[in-house]
A and B are shown apart, each in its own frame.
Chain A
Amino acid sequence: MTRSAVPLAKARANGERSMLAAIGRSYYLLGAVSAVIFLVVWQIVSMNVPPVILPTPAKVAIAFVDLTLSGELIKATAETVWPFTIGLVVAFIVGTALGLVLGIFRPAARILDPYIFVFWSIPNIAWLPLFIAWFGVGNLTLIIFVFVSAVFPQLLTVEAGAKEADSFLVEVARSLGGTKREILRIVVLPSALPYIFAGLRIAVGRALVGIIVGQLLIVATGIGYMFQFYGETLSLAKYFAPLIVIAVLAVALNRAVNWAEVMLIPWKPRAFN
Chain B
Amino acid sequence: MPELEFVNVRRSYESPTGERLLALEDFSLKIGGGRFVTVVGPSGCGKTTLLRMACGLIPSDSGEVRLDGTVLEGPSPKMSMVFQGIGLMPWKTVADNVTLGIQLQAHRHKLTAEEHRRVEATLGMVKLTGFERYYPYQLSGGMQQRVGLARALVRQPEILLMDEPFGALDAQTRTVLQDELLTLWDRAQSTVLFITHDLDEAIYLSDQVVIMGRRPGRIKQVLDVNLRRPRYSYDARAEPEFARLRNIAWQSIKEEL
Contact = CB atoms under 8 A, between A and B. Distances in A.
Interface residues of B, number: 29
A175 B81 contact: yes
A57 interface: no
A176 B57 CA distance: 10
Q: What does DSSP make chain B's interface, helix, strand, loop or mixed?
A: loop
A267 B103 CA distance: 20
Interface in A209-268: 265-268
A3 interface: yes
Interface in A132-180: 168-169, 171-179
A268 B87 contact: no
A174 B155 CA distance: 14
A267 B135 CA distance: 6
A182 B138 contact: no
A2 B55 CA distance: 36
Contacts of A3: 135, 138
Contacts of A191: 91
Given A6-B138, A269-B137, A171 B57 contact: yes
B90 interface: yes
Interface of chain A: mostly helix, strand, loop or mixed = helix
Interface residues of A, number: 25
Nearest to B155: A176
Contact of B89 (A171, A175, A179, A186): A186
Contact of A176 (B75, B85, B134, B137): B75
B54 to A, nearest CB: 10
In the complex, which of the residues A171, A173, A265, A266 has the most CB atoms of chain B within 10 Å of its own CB atom?
A171
Nearest to A172: B87
Most buried by A among B77, B92, B135, B136: B135
A186 B100 contact: yes
A187 interface: yes
B135 A266 contact: yes
Given A171-B87, A186-B100, A267-B90, A176 B135 contact: no
B91 A172 contact: no
A124 B130 CA distance: 54
B107 interface: yes
A176 B80 contact: yes
Contact of A174 (B75, B90, B107, B134): B75
18 contacts: A169-B87, A172-B87, A173-B100, A174-B57, A175-B55, A175-B56, A175-B75, A175-B80, A176-B105, A177-B76, A182-B103, A186-B89, A190-B89, A191-B91, A267-B90, A267-B91, A267-B137, A268-B90
Interface of A: 2-3, 6, 168-169, 171-179, 182, 186-187, 190-191, 193, 265-269
Given A177-B75, A177-B105, 8 more contacts: A2-B134, A6-B138, A171-B57, A176-B75, A179-B107, A186-B100, A266-B135, A267-B92
